[in-house]
Structure 1
Amino acid sequence: MKTFIAIGYVWPEPNSSAAGSRMMQILLLMQKSGFRVVFASPAEDSAHAIDLESIGIEKHSIRLNCSSFDQWVRAQSPDVVMFDRFMMEEQFGWRVEKHVPDALRLLDMEDVHCLRDARHRAVKAGRNLSADDWHTDMAFREVASILRCDLTLVISEFEMIWLQDHFPIHASKLLYTPFMVNSADAEGLSRRFSDSDFEVRGGFVSIGNFRHAPNWDAVLQLREIWPDIRRRLPDAELNIYGAYPPKKAMQLDKPELGFRVRGWASDAYQVIAEAKVMLAPLRFGAGLKGKLLDAMLVGTPAVTSSLGAEGMYGGCDQAAVVADDRDAFIDAAERLYSSRSEWESRSAAGYKLAIERFNDADHGPNITATIDRLCVGLERHRGQDFVGGMLRHHSLKSTQYMSQWIEAKNK
């Protein structure tokens, strides 16, 4: 049996973040395609992590800057090793290359971290992005990681193009790997919430892991615009959910204003389906927005920014209302909340688009076929990749030497 190892930045928490959900989609896809799947991480265990072993995925704790990993990965004899974000590739990529050189090395970006970081810095500085924003330490590290790996999984079509436009990355190094929706699961959600129509639903909803900076910023944006929405819709409530709510977030809860900070949601689909409209005024970030996909699947129309819509809707202007201007966002929220005809039209369009655009029956076979093809022709693939080979050359292996120095120092 072939072996697939994922080296995770954290243990997967599909109920806490979209990144956790997507990681599980990839792991289950590889398991379904016949791989023995192993998930390893140097992170501390989490009470909110999924029980991997209960679904047949092996779990192993590994240590940073420790040669114990070398013996372990050799014993596993993997066919494919996937690094969860470039930080894990920096830590373990050279060890994988040295001790299991014939394993295909994948990088799962989750999103483009240097793009998210640049946008965050621009928002804080109150300016537009410029070319200088890409010449950062994070960009150098992340792009170097892409070039060292055999293949990188990119979650967004926008980011597929953006990476090639801004950096010397060939298309053969990238594979579009978005969220994947199972048709049967989607149909189950549709049946579950079939009675949740326009008249039954009430209020607005926002959801997102509070530890993720774009989500926290969105909460602060909602705090500013909610009084204007509330004046137009005096009986409406906004319910804000998310994993790991800090004290400063819970202190924003104002029942008298209909601004409710609820914290953890035991069932994200349920709380989204109970709401009439989702609000997602995201000002920075990257990747795809799991909250917006969840909203489409349960028929909850959304108002979001152009950044929130990036890579989500594929040009379909009926699935959500996109508004960047404050007044336009407020107008859209009121209109979508009040207009049954527009609500029903966007609700139906969103569900249809989610099934068509993110269907696992389309994306799953493409991912596994690409991995199989590269595994068979790995030597040729690497032979055509001069830049990747150059970056893996011993004179540029700073991450390896730093790790070995730390390991020696710790002894």
Structure 2
Amino acid sequence: MTKLLLIIGFVWPEPKSSAAGSRMMQLIDVFRSNDYNITFASTCAKKDNAFDLSSLEIQQVSIELNNSSFDEFIKELNPEIVVFDRFMVEEQFGWRVAEQCPDALRILDTEDLHCLRKGREQALKDQSVFNKSYLFNEVSKREIASIYRCDVSLIISEEEIEILKNQFKVSNHLLYYLPFLTEPLSSEAKRKLSKIKEREHFISIGNFLHPPNYDAVLFLKSKIWPLIREKLPKAEIHIYGAYASEKVNQLHNEKEGFLIKGFTDDVNFVMQNAKVCLAPLRFGAGLKGKLIDAMTNGTPCVMTSIATEGMFGGFEPNGFIADEVQEFANKAVELYTDKIFWNGKQKNGFLVMNARFDKQLFVSDFIYKINAIQNNLKVHRLDNFTGQMLQHHTTQSTKFMSKWIEEKNKNN
């Protein structure tokens, strides 16, 4: 029997622009393959890179903030499940969903822990060691409240599950580990990939609207690349990413071999032609789509420990991990020039992909979990008094603020 699902998107999914866009399309694929009739709604304007959801027979609806038209829309739709794409969306629409469709299962897809990323960013700016005082920030107060108000939150990284349980004391029954869900890498697909002798240059990739990616490019340009270039004077690094601003493009320097390439329509093609991927992230959270792309395409990496968080579990990484500038540069040169190391690290990546991110390992258990919660929703919610309390107070405060804004907009 067809079931109704509403996804409220922070933005319209752009799988070619960001890991978040890829993640959303993976979730959509899971629900579609399990006979859900999907409606995707967002307040955001569509950009050129947005995926055409109508090609998947998904209804697309534009919705407004602080407007009771959403109440009428969702009441008529009457979905069995509502997925909030990031906590900010749950803040805006969660109380309306709870009022109009109280029996709908509310799922939060965190994408990554925003409070963790923000705290690490501030610690970096302060040149301080990241600790609880940075983790327990203003964003965390909002984000953890959102997790409690929902029936279950999808967490993309095992590291973040542990942070939520140990640092924030969130109950395990409100959390569900669901990483990137990828197609298994077949032996034939691996054989078809370019060998080391057929590849050249370094690559770095990431959406430039995402602050950790822009910071990584600046760090690469100012600190790391000059050390690599000193030992490999003919090497180039090709920097890819959507939404490159003028300040990003100004980093382009052909004489230094530092080339800003901007948006690529085919990440697999550019990754397969590169010899080594560099991911010198200094802050961030969640899982890194760039590392998934690199492993899928057989491109070994040099990466910081921040970049590797939640990626490898007990498996060997698909490259080297280094946080100190000189060591990072040395490992990049070593991986670039040593065929034995390169081949070994590539094989590690293939193993990690199939052992940790093959979607077949997760999908059936996820759907079972969703059905189990739905079938016992009242009992499930009774075990989450904190969530009920936060829902009550949020509804009172957010509801009347939103209605005040709506009336104010009518009078303008």
Structure 2 distance, partners of 1:211, 1:318, is 27
- 1:114 paired with 2:115, answer yes
Displacement of 1:396 in angstroms is 6.3
Compared CA separation, residues 111 and 194, structure 1 to 2 (3 A): same
- CA displacement, residues 114-156 of structure 1 (integer Å, 9 cap, x when unaligned): 1100000110111111222233221111000000000000000
3-state DSSP of counterpart to 2:217: helix
Structure 1 distance, partners of 2:36, 2:287, is 27
Match of 1:279 in 2: 278
Displacement of 1:256 in angstroms is 1.2
Amino acid corresponding to residue 313 of structure 2 in structure 1: G
Structure 1 distance, partners of 2:228, 2:237, is 10
Match of 1:343 in 2: 342
Displacement of 1:277 in angstroms is 0.3
- CA displacement, residues 238-274 of structure 1 (integer Å, 9 cap, x when unaligned): 0000000001111111111111111111211111110
Partners of 1:190 and 1:297 within 8 A in 2: no
Match of 2:213 in 1: 215
Partners of 1:189 and 1:298 within 8 A in 2: no
* Structure-1-length-normalised TM-score: 0.97
Compared CA separation, residues 235 and 87, structure 1 to 2 (3 A): same
Match of 1:60 in 2: 61
Structure 2 distance, partners of 1:189, 1:295, is 17
Amino acid corresponding to residue 376 of structure 1 in structure 2: N
Match of 1:140 in 2: 141
Partners of 1:318 and 1:345 within 8 A in 2: no
Match of 1:268 in 2: 267
- 1:199 paired with 2:200, answer no
Compared CA separation, residues 133 and 304, structure 1 to 2 (3 A): same
Displacement of 1:378 in angstroms is 0.5
Partners of 1:42 and 1:62 within 8 A in 2: yes
Structure 2 distance, partners of 1:139, 1:199, is 47
Match of 1:307 in 2: 306
Amino acid corresponding to residue 228 of structure 1 in structure 2: L
- CA displacement, residues 284-327 of structure 1 (integer Å, 9 cap, x when unaligned): 00000000011001100000000000001113234221000111
Compared CA separation, residues 300 and 107, structure 1 to 2 (3 A): same
3-state DSSP of counterpart to 1:255: coil
3-state DSSP of counterpart to 1:350: helix
Structure 2 distance, partners of 1:81, 1:195, is 40
Flag structure 1 segments of 5+ consecutive residues without an equivalent.
none
Compared CA separation, residues 195 and 172, structure 1 to 2 (3 A): closer
- 1:77 paired with 2:86, answer no
- 1:99 paired with 2:97, answer no
Structure 1 stretches (4+) deviating beyond 3 angstroms?
A: 186-189, 394-397
Structure 2 distance, partners of 1:395, 1:56, is 35
3-state DSSP of counterpart to 1:257: coil
Structure 2 distance, partners of 1:394, 1:219, is 43
Match of 1:332 in 2: 331
Flag structure 2 segments of 5+ consecutive residues without an equivalent.
none
- CA displacement, residues 43-78 of structure 1 (integer Å, 9 cap, x when unaligned): 011111000011121111111000000011011110
CA RMSD across the alignment: 1.3
Displacement of 1:35 in angstroms is 0.6
Amino acid corresponding to residue 31 of structure 1 in structure 2: R
Partners of 1:189 and 1:297 within 8 A in 2: no
3-state DSSP of counterpart to 1:367: helix
- 1:409 paired with 2:403, answer no
* Range with bigger deviation, 315-324 or 140-149: 315-324
Partners of 2:193 and 2:297 within 8 A in 1: no
Structure 1 distance, partners of 2:311, 2:286, is 9
Match of 2:361 in 1: 362
Amino acid corresponding to residue 56 of structure 2 in structure 1: I
* Structure-2-length-normalised TM-score: 0.97
Displacement of 1:279 in angstroms is 0.3
- CA displacement, residues 316-353 of structure 1 (integer Å, 9 cap, x when unaligned): 23422100011110110000001000000000110121
Structure 2 distance, partners of 1:139, 1:110, is 14
Q: Sequence identity of aligned pairs in percent? A: 45
Amino acid corresponding to residue 223 of structure 1 in structure 2: K
Partners of 2:155 and 2:176 within 8 A in 1: yes
* Range with bigger deviation, 15-24 or 389-398: 389-398
Amino acid corresponding to residue 181 of structure 2 in structure 1: M
* Range with bigger deviation, 297-306 or 401-410: 401-410
Structure 1 distance, partners of 2:161, 2:32, is 26
Amino acid corresponding to residue 102 of structure 1 in structure 2: D
Match of 1:173 in 2: 174
Displacement of 1:395 in angstroms is 7.2
Displacement of 1:283 in angstroms is 0.2
Structure 2 distance, partners of 1:154, 1:325, is 29
